[in-house]
Amino acid sequence: MVKGKKAMLLTEEVLKIIVAVIGLVLLSYFLISFFSSGAKEKKQREAIETIDKISQIISSIGISGGNISVLQPQRWTLFSFTEEEKKPNQCTGQNCVCICNKVVGDLFDRQIKKCAKEGACLVIFNLQEFEDIKIEAYAKETTNINIQESGGKIQITKI
């Protein structure tokens, strides 16, 4: 009898822990979403500004091209999407450059989905594929790029 009661108590405790864990998970999810949405929007605005600068350089590109210093937002990455089958929606199926947060473990097109959802992209028909350029935190180093046209292709390189 006493043993049964003890067991019942144990079940109760386990159930309470489960409820508490579910509650905590939900609460933390809502809190994180609430506080990170503002930061994400700020980073997206910064990414759009950088994309605008790239667009301006490309529209008036000459022999020497142009540089962009102190790329923003910090810790995001500059990607090129050229020959792949899938591209972020903003690219409309064409070659493009995007700035977005890099995902860990790019499975099931997670990177493309991330760029489509939160990133900023610019269609460049004659873009030459380049290695991902990580925009480092300002405390570490400033990230600068050079944009130039060579052989009819737009090249973007880190300087």
Q: Please report, as ranges, the residues that interact with another protein according to CB under 8 A.
A: 8, 11-12, 15-16, 18-19, 22, 85-90, 92-94, 109, 112-113, 116-117, 120-121, 123
Amino acid at 85: E
Nearest distance from C-beta of residue 2 to another protein, angstroms:
14
Question: Of 42 and 86, which CB lies nearer to another protein in the complex structure?
Answer: 86
Nearest distance from C-beta of residue 118 to another protein, angstroms:
11
The token pair at 10 is: 């144990």
Reduced to 3 states (helix: H, G, I; strand: E, B; else coil), residue 129 is coil
Nearest distance from C-beta of residue 21 to another protein, angstroms:
11
Instruction: Name, in order, each residue with C-beta under 8 angstroms of 20's C-beta and a sequence gap of 6 or more.
Output: none
Question: Of 121 and 154, which CB lies nearer to another protein in the complex structure?
Answer: 121
Cα-only R_g, the chain:
23
Question: Of 57 and 120, which CB lies nearer to another protein in the complex structure?
Answer: 120
Rounded to 5 degrees, what angle do the CA atoms 129, 155, 68 make?
120
Question: Of 60 and 64, which CB lies nearer to another protein in the complex structure?
Answer: 60
Nearest distance from C-beta of residue 136 to another protein, angstroms:
26
**Block residue for tokens 């790019």:** 106
Reduced to 3 states (helix: H, G, I; strand: E, B; else coil), residue 156 is strand
Q: Which contiguous run of DSSP H or E holds residue 54?
A: helix 2-59
